[in-house]
């Protein structure tokens, strides 16, 4: 047998041997890999980033489903009625966000329009926040009434406030934290439009109380919220109060709930 045939015979035996070694090494791990893949597919454990917030596929899909369903309901309702929308409700072109619409807050003066978003779980509204960023709106965030008042005491030029109704503050859940924020804004003489953004159940229960406390709108609809913010941000800021010309009235720094003045 020539050397060439010997090398060829060894090579023909080497590949099956290498394949067997690979199988022996990898086979014990295959069930775990398959189980991990099945678990990830079942729980949708893959994540995506939306507006700088990391969401699971399930969370992102649910938020998108909610917004699409809401938009369909809003447009279908207006088409079924076949009457012009009331002045208090969002106009159809606001809902559609047509290409001829100016960016939110464009006529409102120099600089970017600014919204303060108060919510202890801002990740639940990543799509709404991303839409505001895309429209050129600066979004400040606070997780409690105290943080919100603190931001407003330090930051000038906030055009509007969005708040939920119930949230965890100081280690306990406060069902009417949004109403407390509205009252504190009124006591501090801060003339800012406030949109209360909450669940459909809370809208039905607390709408009147929130409106009486000073809210401009109480809604569970992301489409209506964004349309209302578009109109609010298009309006100029309130005129400066007395004091230094061109400056807003002084703002008191809030005291944390339960502390002495």
Residue 153 lies in a domain: yes
Question: Which CATH number belongs to the domain containing residue 85 in this structure?
Answer: 3.40.50.2300
Residue 20 lies in a domain: no
Between 110 and 225, the more confident residue is: 225
Residue 91 lies in a domain: yes
Between 174 and 235, the more confident residue is: 174
Number of H helices, E strands in the chain: 9, 9
- C-beta pairs of 218-223 under 8 Å, 24+ apart in sequence: 219/195, 221/70, 221/74, 222/66, 222/67, 222/70, 222/125, 222/127, 222/128, 223/67, 223/70, 223/71, 223/74, 223/90, 223/95
The confidence score (pLDDT) of residue 146 equals 94
- The structural domain count of the chain equals 1
Residue 86 lies in a domain: yes
Residue 111 lies in a domain: yes
| pTM more than 0.85 | no
pLDDT tens sequence across 15-27 = 666 666 666 666 6
Residue 145 lies in a domain: yes
pLDDT tens sequence across 49-107 = 777 777 887 787 788 777 877 876 777 667 666 554 444 444 434 433 443 344 434 43
Domain extent, residue 142, equals 50-234
Residue 3 lies in a domain: no
Residue 250 lies in a domain: no
């Amino acid at each position: 047998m020539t050397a060439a045939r010997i090398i060829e015979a060894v090579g023909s035996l080497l590949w099956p041997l290498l394949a067997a070694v690979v199988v022996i090494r990898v086979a014990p791990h295959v069930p775990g890999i398959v189980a991990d893949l099945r678990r990830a597919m079942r729980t949708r454990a893959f994540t995506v980033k939306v507006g700088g917030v990391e969401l699971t596929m399930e969370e992102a899909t649910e938020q998108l489903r909610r917004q699409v369903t809401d938009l369909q309901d809003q447009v279908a309702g207006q088409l079924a009625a076949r009457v012009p929308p009331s002045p208090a409700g969002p106009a159809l072109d606001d809902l559609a966000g047509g290409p001829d619409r100016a960016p939110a807050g464009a006529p409102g003066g120099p600089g970017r329009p600014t919204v303060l978003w108060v919510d202890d779980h801002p990740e639940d509204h990543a799509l709404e926040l991303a839409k505001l960023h895309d429209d050129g709106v600066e979004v400040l965030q606070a997780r409690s009434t105290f943080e919100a008042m603190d931001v407003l005491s330090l930051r000038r030029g906030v055009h509007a406030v969005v708040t939920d109704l119930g949230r965890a503050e100081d280690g306990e859940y406060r069902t009417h934290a949004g109403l407390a924020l509205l009252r504190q804004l009124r006591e501090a003489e801060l003339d800012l439009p406030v949109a209360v953004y909450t669940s459909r159940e809370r809208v039905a229960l607390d709408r009147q109380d929130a409106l009486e406390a000073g809210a401009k709108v109480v809604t569970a609809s992301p489409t209506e919220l964004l349309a209302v913010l578009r109109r609010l941000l298009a309006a100029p800021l309130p005129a400066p109060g007395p004091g230094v010309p061109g400056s807003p009235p002084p703002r008191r720094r809030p005291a944390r709930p339960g502390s002495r003045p």
